[in-house]
Amino acid sequence: MEYRSRRIANRYELSAPLDGGGMGVVWEGYDTVLDRPVAVKRIRAEKARTPGQRAELAQRFKREARVTARIEHPGVPAVYDAAIDRDPADENALDELYLVMQLVRGRSLGDILAEHGEPLPLAWAVSIAAQICSVLSFAHAVPVVHRDLKPGNVMIDDTGHVKVLDFGVAAVLGTDVTQITDTGQMVGTRDYMSPEQFHGVGVSPRSDLYALGCLLHEMLSGGKVFDGTSDPALQHVHEEPVPLRVLNPGVPPELEDLVLDLLAKAPEDRPASAEEVHRRLSPYLPGPGQAAEPVAPAVTGVPNPTRPYRRPLAPRQQPVRPAASALPGPEPSTPPEQPPAVAMAELKEAEEHAFALIDEERFSQAVGVLEEVIAASPVGPDHPRMLEIRETHAAALVLGRDYRRGLVAFQALIASWSRIDGPESERAVEYRQQAAVCLAALGETEDALAEYRALLSLAEQRGRTPGGGSVGELRRRIGDLLLAAHRIREAAHVFRALLAELTADHGPEHPEAREIRDLLTRIEFTGGT
Residues 6 or more apart from 90 whose CB is under 8 A from it?
A: none
Sign of the dihedral through C-alpha 465, 471, 477, 481: positive
Element (H, E) at 13: strand 12-21
DSSP reduced 3-state for 173: coil
Q: How far is CA 420 from CA 18, 28, 92, 390, 498, in A?
A: 59, 58, 58, 15, 35
Element (H, E) at 112: helix 109-116
- Please, are residues 86 and 96 in contact by the beta-carbon 8 Å criterion? yes
- Local structure of residue 120 (DSSP, 8 states): P
Give CA–CA dist 344/347, Å, rounded. 5
The strand pairing partners of 154, in sequence order, are: 164
- Local structure of residue 272 (DSSP, 8 states): S
Catalytic (active site) residue 148 = yes
Question: Which candidate, 446, 524, 454, 425, places its Cα nearest to that of 204?
Answer: 446
Residue 417: CB atoms within 10 A of its CB come to: 23
Give CA–CA dist 418/431, Å, rounded. 10
Q: Which of 148, 166, 208, 382 is catalytic?
A: 148
Rg (CA), the chain: 25
Q: How far is CA 78 from CA 81, 101, 168, 307, 447, in A?
A: 9, 6, 12, 22, 33
Amino acid letter, 261: D
Residue environment code for 477-501, b if the CB has 16+ CB neighbours within 10 A, otherwise e: bbbbbbbbbbbbeebbebbeebbee
For the chain, how are helix, strand and coil distributed in percent, rounded to 5?
50, 10, 40
- Please, are residues 312 and 288 in contact by the beta-carbon 8 Å criterion? yes
Which sequence positions are flagged as catalytic? 148
